Every structure is written in C-alpha cells, then in structure tokens.
Amino acid sequence: MPSDAEMTAYAKSLPDIYRDIMKAFPAIEPDRKAGYGLAFQTVAMQFANTRRGYSLEEVQEACMRLADQGFIEIKNGIFAHPTDLGEQLIAAVTDRPRASSLSLPPLPARTW
C-alpha cells in the first residue's frame, strides 16, 4: 500500500471524473463504513445537475477502470465498493479521515 503522501500526490494527478467519483462516496453517504458500496446509478445521479454532469455510461466506464487498478470492487455488475486502497484514495481526494470499518459490540452469551 502506498504512503498517504504518495496517495495524495497520485490523487492530484487524477482526471476530474475519477476524483469526483471517489468524492461521491462520502458525499452521498457521510456516515458510511469502509467498503460501503454505491450503485452506478446513484453515483451518476450525484452529478446529474452539476456542471460536470457525467452520464451513467461514463460513471460505469470510470468505475471499471478504477476496479482494474484495484481502487474499487464491482459487485453484482452494478455496485462499486471501495477497497482498502480505494478508501485511502477517498481520504486523499476529500482530505478527510478514512471511513471506519464496521464494528459491532459482541453479542452477550445466552444464560438459558
């Protein structure tokens, strides 16, 4: 895994569409947990009324390219889930801490 400084430098070199897609994860779901996925359509809707206005096809293709580089995993053909590397990239492009992993308290033992 690259250092945070290396990832920040890499993030600055990314074309806008890739940065914007990675920024969409915390923008759409601010309290999300690490690896939480979004449907391509949901990501595309984030840009529907913006000056960039990426189409669904552009979002899908960009997500495929992000998946090829190991930043996201595509599940069921329509959901983009950030990998650990993707979470590091999201933190770099948003200048926010990485999303936390799901942590649940232990289930108490049954006494009956």
Domains of the chain: 4-92 (1.10.10.10)
Which pLDDT belongs to residue 102?
63
Which pLDDT belongs to residue 13?
96
d(C-alpha 75, C-alpha 55), whole Å: 20
Which pLDDT belongs to residue 42?
95
Residues in Cβ contact with 38 at an 8 Å cutoff, skipping those fewer than 6 apart: 24, 25, 28, 29, 79, 80
pTM: 0.85
d(C-alpha 7, C-alpha 21), whole Å: 16
Intervals of the chain under pLDDT 70? 97, 102-104
For residue 92, which of 18, 35, 39 has the smallest C-alpha distance? 18
Q: Could you tell me if 88 and 7 are in contact, meaning their C-beta atoms sit under 8 angstroms apart?
A: yes
Which residues pair with residue 76 across a beta bridge? Answer: none
